[in-house]
Amino acid sequence: MLKPAQNENTHPQGNTRLKDFLFTSESVSEGHPDKICDQISDAIVDRYLTSDPYARTAIETVVTTDSVIIVGETRGPSDITHDVLRDIAKRKIRDIGYEQQGFDWRTVNVDVRVHSQSADIAVGVDAAGNKDEGAGDQGIMFGYACTETPVLMPAALHYSHNILKSLAEARHSGTLAELGPDAKSQVTLEYRDGKPVRATSIVVSTQHSEKLSQADVREMVRPHVMNVLPEGWMCPESEFYVNPTGRFVIGGPVGDSGLTGRKIIVDTYGGSAPHGGGAFSGKDPTKVDRSAAYAARYLAKNVVAAGLADKCTIQLSYAIGVSKPLSVYVDTHGTGLADEARISAALQELMNLSPRGIREHLHLNRPIYARTAAYGHFGREPDADGGFSWEKIDLVDALRQKLGA
């Protein structure tokens, strides 16, 4: 049997970890202005990959009152015209549920400013001769997993996402038709001896019909919070905040503008782990901002699922046009049952971490991205068509064998 590795229980920066503390994470709904943009951008990625699995996309979307602006660069089939992109945006807005004054899928103006990919970028990224496919940009990417929830995700973020997903499902079904698409949640948990034990406060802000009072909305939201949290975890009544300003009738892009890539902490680990800074949505899988972040999560999750650590953070780094990662860093936060250098070596033996290797191992050249653009890219169940392939734990046995576990 492996014994715990002898390493200091500190962050790389040297700060001693607290065992008893409060920690907060937030989520935003599919109707939040930034998330509308992420979903439109990723719906466009899916459209390109449907026609050409090797298409290139770098799409960003902006929304405001009565308007959508789509910008970026692509390389793919010529029949994907600006009119096609406008139609994708309108259908996505319809699916989210926006038919309100100031932002209605039927009447919204969609301005498309998309052009061809830079030839300079293509030269660095494309495989040619003896040169393997290079990274689409320089950057650092992080993956994380922990034992706080069955899906090996941080608990505060997991519950924040699930509260909003539950409300959205009820809204789409008609059960809560009086609620609007725009919503946010925030969960604060108490940790004792490093483990979450209860919620100390819950915040939910949700767009609603003018006919509803704050008290009405509070009671509509309550069961969706209670059903998501573990039994006995509900916060005190005085710390249960629903629409704390008192009114949230004006919402979505009428109330605030939105932009692709502005909710990267919501997309990843809710602040429980580092983030390299790059957004995911709108990018095809040659962009390591996306694909390497998925690979890092995949590897970290398999380390934890294999019982090699209770927590695992993995950092990958790349240079534009270079195929091999510049570094593969593993931190098990003092919970590891093997030396982190050995874990790093084993992971690199089990997976080719070049951009091409990641794409092929996780089968990323498929139209599987629009579904990732709300309620988190991680902690989701793998889909039969290959969606969320980075959530599989199919390296567990091989890792245990290599590390003698």
Q: Where is the binding site, in residues?
A: 32, 34, 60, 73, 117, 182-184, 247-248, 256, 262-263, 279, 283, 287
**Which residues fall within 8 angstroms of residue 401, CB to CB, at 6 or more apart?**
none
What residue numbers does the annotated binding site for K(+) cover?
A: 60
Q: How far apart are CA 253 and CA 103, in angstroms?
A: 7
Give the strand pairing for 195-208 and 240-242: parallel
What residue numbers does the annotated binding site for ATP cover?
A: 32, 182-184, 247-248, 256, 262-263, 279, 283
* Other Cβ atoms within 10 Å of 72 Cβ, number: 20
Report, in angstroms and rounded to the nearest whole number, the Rg of the chain calculated over CA atoms.
Answer: 22
Q: Are 162 and 29 in contact (CB under 8 A)?
A: no
C-beta contacts of 1-4 below 8 A and 24+ residues apart: 1/405, 2/308, 2/337, 2/338, 2/403, 2/404, 2/405, 3/337, 4/335, 4/336, 4/337
Q: Token digits for 110?
A: 């969609």
* Other Cβ atoms within 10 Å of 265 Cβ, number: 16
Q: How far apart are CA 32 and CA 186, in angstroms?
A: 14
Q: Are 252 and 98 in contact (CB under 8 A)?
A: yes
Q: How far apart are CA 251 and CA 9, in angstroms?
A: 44
What residue numbers does the annotated binding site for Mg(2+) cover?
A: 34
The beta strand positions in 288-349, using DSSP E, are 311-318, 327-331
Q: What three-state secondary structure class fits 25?
A: strand
Residue 172, strand partner residues: none
Q: Are 266 and 360 in contact (CB under 8 A)?
A: no
Q: How many CA atoms lie within 13 A of 232 on its CB side?
A: 2
Residue of 153, 405, 133 whose CA lies nearest to 286: 133
Q: Token digits for 392?
A: 């599989």
Q: Are 393 and 301 in contact (CB under 8 A)?
A: yes
Q: How far apart are CA 135 and CA 148, in angstroms?
A: 33
